[in-house]
Structure 1
Amino acid sequence: MDDSHYCPHTPEERGEMLDLIGVASVDDLFASIPEELRARTFNIPPGMSEFEALARMRELAAENGQGIVPFIGGGYFDHLVPSVVSHLAGRSEFYTAYTPYQPECSQGTLQALFEYQTAICRLTDLDVSNASLYDGATACAEAAMMALRVTGRRRIVVDGCVNPFSRQVLKTYLGNLDVEVLEIEPLDGLLNRGELETVLDDGVAGLLVQNPTFFGTVDDYSSLADLLHARGALLISSVYPVSLGLLKTPGEMGVDIAVGDGQSLGNPLSFGGPSFGFMAARKALVRNMPGRMVGETVDGQGRRGYVLTLQAREQHIKRHRATSNICSNQSLCALRGLIFLSSLGRDGLTELARLNRDKSEYAKARLEEIPGVSVLRSAPTFNEFTVSLPAPAGIAVAALLGQGVAAGVPLSTYYRDSERLMVVTVTEKRSRREIDHLARQLEVALCG
């Protein structure tokens, strides 16, 4: 191993350290790693100048697909990001700010997080919000753990219409605990309410649903909230924040905990991250919320100030009293969400949601003109919908990708007996021309 250019220690110093720990060579430190899994070489090319490195990076970036029109959603969405979002979030006061452990030095950051919490409460129509979480999937898992703590029960019921990635993270979170995760198979892209009633008993801590679902369908869970509350359980809903410009809010449905991913609120796709997770809940549950919460107060002179009112992880409080060990709340991404919502306002968010819905409806009509293509119409949709094709969806997606169109998400990756099903997503960025091009290319791929 040639590390002479990168290791600050002399060969003599390295020899002394190896002698002290009783190892003959640096390579012996990696002896526990199977030979076939070890790095073949650590030889790094000579250094480059800044100009050369940038040129090489552009050369590598050019190998990526360029100009592909995405009709892919499934949790991450190609939305417009107003210029004001990056402009304000990139200011040094925010961009270089660290965790606000000392409130007297962090009033700007704390106020921004307080305003973020206010925006999330207004968006979800719930009482309290924490200062954001890592992402939407971990927010689902944290909400499930909240339900377990609040009720003292050991079973979580999950609708199979919830994003498969969120369900996988949830199982990972709870995998080593004495907890049962019970999934309900979807019925026509919706929660199978009949099956839910058969499994809902006094041992269930909560039900996790998603609106709109991974299939794109929209549901009203108001009656479920009453059913669960009568059994002493909680209703958790993962929501697509942009859709709340049109759809019934979690608060209106009687949801106890609302969570979701904030990528669609002013954060770019960036190959899948980073974004932020949000969580809002009824006030009665505030003591069981993970992460931290910013509160407003006054100082000794009566001036307004902000502090971390609740801090629920073991870094801040006694380990046995911690409700979570969540470590990152992606506060800069959450700030982008606040700026995005503030720049649009209530009416702007409604108009944005309406554009998504209307363009999606146009795409539905165009795709149904193709022989053999049908749209799942078991329920209304927002900006995602499931189509049934006369051929395997994976083959169609691969064919369209060669024509510069990412047509959708084949459901066979996540669900049984769905080889011909595909979820198509249409955001406000998709033009009529792009939707028509999708329809033409899909017809060519399917019908020749």
Structure 2
Amino acid sequence: MPFIPHTETDIQAMLARIGAPDIDALFDEIPEALRSGKLTQVPAALSEMEISRLMQERAEADGRYLNFIGAGAYEHHIPAAVWQITTRGEFYSAYTPYQAEASQGTLQLIYEYQTMMASLTGLDVSNASLYDGGSALAEAVLMAVRAHKGAARVLIPKTVSPVYRAVVHAMVKNQHIELVELDYDRATGTTLLPTGDMGDFAALVVPQPNYFGALEDVDALTDWAHAHGGRVIALVNPTALALLKAPGQWGAKGADIAVGEGQPLGAPLSSGGPYYGFMTCKQELVRQMPGRIVGRTVDLDGKQGFTLTLQAREQHIRRSKATSNICTNQGLVVTASTIYMSLLGPEGLKRVAASSHANTRTLLDKLCAIPGVKRAFNAASFHETVIQLDAPAGEILRALQAQGILGGLDLSASYPELGQAILVCATETKTAADLDLYAQQLARVLSKRREGPPCAYKS
């Protein structure tokens, strides 16, 4: 809770100075019909200790759950120093650098972030940031089509997040860009290389790991796309890149663009955001990259300085001529990611990735030892995986939630061909006891469901 030092006397003095009768008068431009009215559920006056207790009780009314859901938003440990530094006034109040007078500190931080992301993805250039992972993928699709100057078709596997595919469709459907979905192998959960003539296409999206957590054959997919005249858009989990081959090293030539969600790098799970999307690319595509790029230089005295090196001015004054209409970056979350990566370093990131992978493998072994549970795919995986049940996935997840466990994501709506399937994830935050508890509760729920009527476990 922030400390507010103003007494009632202070408040009245400030109102008198600006000529306002009361605080409500400061908001008189808001029509009465749009106002929420009195906060009847908040007591009129409580001490700091009492109001802290009240808000804590109300927050806990939502429940505290042991979380095994991933699917694009991951529960990683965030060192306390990350947000302690991020919320310092110098960073917390700084906004997107539009003009040359942006502070050197803000510009340097973005430069450091860009350097880290370019190193992590193995590509030449990084922009500041985009809104989120889904919009970053959409921007990459637009970027690839512009660069191709011919085909307006992009191949996108079904192993890409359904949410991301929906976002891309929403952003390109009115720009006459065709999205061609590629199917996946039911045994491995990985993308099937097209066998027929796909015609001209601007790019192939390659997720790594994919939505199922399965590891794609990125070398084969990359070389196939390049051999057929298309570029490669890598959709990657940044934590996985601490262990897996960087997109810039895929195949003979490497991916052309890499995008993804930056949330795993120091952003907490907080009711859906804010998150941010990252994007890196080869030097040859830098003029097509949306957003802004900060560069390092020296002044006339030889002193180091940072400046906005590349930014399409049309984004602000001639939207119809812009390469993108992206204008706002998620600067604060990018700040947290930069501090997070600086604190952990390459070795720390590897340990996070390795521990997450090990926990998921252990959890999978425990769950598949339960009657009625089996592994959906046999490909190598990272961070998350899919299990199939002999009972309705939705009912089982609700029963687990009643025991304080968020057991995963029901895939039956997005992937009905998988039957009763759940996407499960375990990060480095899970202990051996957590994994045991999940397995024990799942075994109990499935066992009782066989013994009793199914309706007994609906909520």
Q: TM-score normalised by the shorter chain: which range applies?
A: 0.7 to 0.9
Please state whether the residue corresponding to 2:95 is helix, strand or coil. Answer: coil
What is the deviation of 1:321? 3.4
Match of 1:206 in 2: 203
Contact 1:263 1:276 in 2 (8 A): yes
Q: 1:169 to 1:300 in 2, by over 3 A?
A: same
Query: Residue 84 in 1 paired to residue 81 in 2?
Result: yes
List alignment gaps of at least 5 residues for structure 1: 15-25, 31-38
What is the deviation of 1:367? 0.9
Please state whether the residue corresponding to 1:241 is helix, strand or coil. Answer: coil
Which residue identity does 2:420 align to in structure 1?
R
Which residue identity does 1:272 align to in structure 2?
G
What is the deviation of 1:225? 1.6
Distance in 2, Cα, partners of 1:45 & 1:287: 51
> CA offsets, 1:285-335, max 9 Å, x none?
100001111111122222111111111363446434311111321011011
What is the deviation of 1:383? 1.4
How many residues get paired? 418
Match of 2:14 in 1: none
- After the TM superposition, which of the residue ranges 47-56 and 271-280 deviates more from structure 2? 47-56
Distance in 2, Cα, partners of 1:282 & 1:213: 22
> CA offsets, 1:241-267, max 9 Å, x none?
111111111111111111111111011
Equivalent runs, 1:275-286 vs 2, <5 Å: 275-286=275-286
Query: Residue 97 in 1 paired to residue 94 in 2?
Result: yes
Match of 1:19 in 2: none
Distance in 1, Cα, partners of 2:315 & 2:255: 30
Match of 2:341 in 1: 341
Distance in 1, Cα, partners of 2:24 & 2:108: 43
Equivalent runs, 1:208-223 vs 2, <5 Å: 208-223=205-220
Distance in 2, Cα, partners of 1:278 & 1:43: 41
Query: Residue 62 in 1 paired to residue 60 in 2?
Result: yes
Which residue identity does 1:86 align to in structure 2?
W
Q: 1:436 to 1:125 in 2, by over 3 A?
A: same
Distance in 1, Cα, partners of 2:296 & 2:163: 36
Which residue identity does 1:163 align to in structure 2?
S
Match of 1:159 in 2: 157
Match of 1:34 in 2: none
Please state whether the residue corresponding to 2:308 is helix, strand or coil. Answer: strand
Distance in 2, Cα, partners of 1:372 & 1:9: 59
Distance in 2, Cα, partners of 1:359 & 1:9: 52
Q: 1:423 to 1:42 in 2, by over 3 A?
A: closer
What is the deviation of 1:420? 1.1
What is the deviation of 1:208? 1.4
Distance in 1, Cα, partners of 2:245 & 2:282: 17
Q: 1:272 to 1:43 in 2, by over 3 A?
A: closer
Match of 2:222 in 1: 225
> CA offsets, 1:38-73, max 9 Å, x none?
x9x95434684475876654443232012x100000
Contact 2:95 2:331 in 1 (8 A): no
Which residue identity does 1:251 align to in structure 2?
G
Equivalent runs, 1:282-293 vs 2, <5 Å: 282-293=282-293
Specify which of 179, 182, 201 is matched with residue 181 of structure 1: 179
Match of 2:456 in 1: none
- After the TM superposition, which of the residue ranges 261-270 and 217-226 deviates more from structure 2? 217-226
> CA offsets, 1:207-229, max 9 Å, x none?
11211111110113112222212
- After the TM superposition, which of the residue ranges 99-108 and 383-392 deviates more from structure 2? 99-108
Which residue identity does 1:319 align to in structure 2?
R
Query: Residue 302 in 1 paired to residue 302 in 2?
Result: yes
> Over the residues paired in the alignment, what is the CA RMSD in angstroms?
2.4
> CA offsets, 1:167-207, max 9 Å, x none?
1110110121111111123322534424x3436322x1111
Please state whether the residue corresponding to 2:196 is helix, strand or coil. Answer: helix
Match of 1:126 in 2: 123
- After the TM superposition, which of the residue ranges 129-138 and 53-62 deviates more from structure 2? 53-62
Contact 1:115 1:338 in 2 (8 A): yes
Contact 1:135 1:261 in 2 (8 A): yes
Distance in 1, Cα, partners of 2:183 & 2:54: 48
Distance in 1, Cα, partners of 2:388 & 2:168: 29
Distance in 2, Cα, partners of 1:238 & 1:183: 15
Match of 2:454 in 1: none
Q: 1:50 to 1:302 in 2, by over 3 A?
A: farther
Specify which of 24, 30, 38 is matched with residue 44 of structure 1: 38
Distance in 1, Cα, partners of 2:260 & 2:354: 20
Which residue identity does 2:192 align to in structure 1?
R
Query: Residue 406 in 1 paired to residue 403 in 2?
Result: no
What is the deviation of 1:368? 1.3
Distance in 2, Cα, partners of 1:42 & 1:276: 31
Please state whether the residue corresponding to 1:423 is helix, strand or coil. Answer: strand
Specify which of 103, 121, 136 is matched with residue 139 of structure 1: 136
**TM-score w.r.t. structure 2 length?**
0.85
> CA offsets, 1:346-380, max 9 Å, x none?
11111111111111111111111101211134310
Match of 2:12 in 1: none
Please state whether the residue corresponding to 1:374 is helix, strand or coil. Answer: strand
Equivalent runs, 1:238-277 vs 2, <5 Å: 238-253=235-250, 254-277=254-277
> 4+ residue stretches of structure 1 with deviation over 6 A?
7-10
Distance in 1, Cα, partners of 2:53 & 2:161: 39
Please state whether the residue corresponding to 1:306 is helix, strand or coil. Answer: strand
Q: 1:325 to 1:246 in 2, by over 3 A?
A: same
Specify which of 150, 162, 186 is matched with residue 147 of structure 2: 150
Q: 1:328 to 1:419 in 2, by over 3 A?
A: farther
Match of 2:353 in 1: 353
List alignment gaps of at least 5 residues for structure 2: 1-21, 449-459
Distance in 2, Cα, partners of 1:220 & 1:383: 17
Match of 1:380 in 2: 380
Distance in 1, Cα, partners of 2:284 & 2:419: 44
Sequence identity percentage: 41
Which residue identity does 2:339 align to in structure 1?
I
Distance in 2, Cα, partners of 1:199 & 1:384: 33
Query: Residue 438 in 1 paired to residue 435 in 2?
Result: no
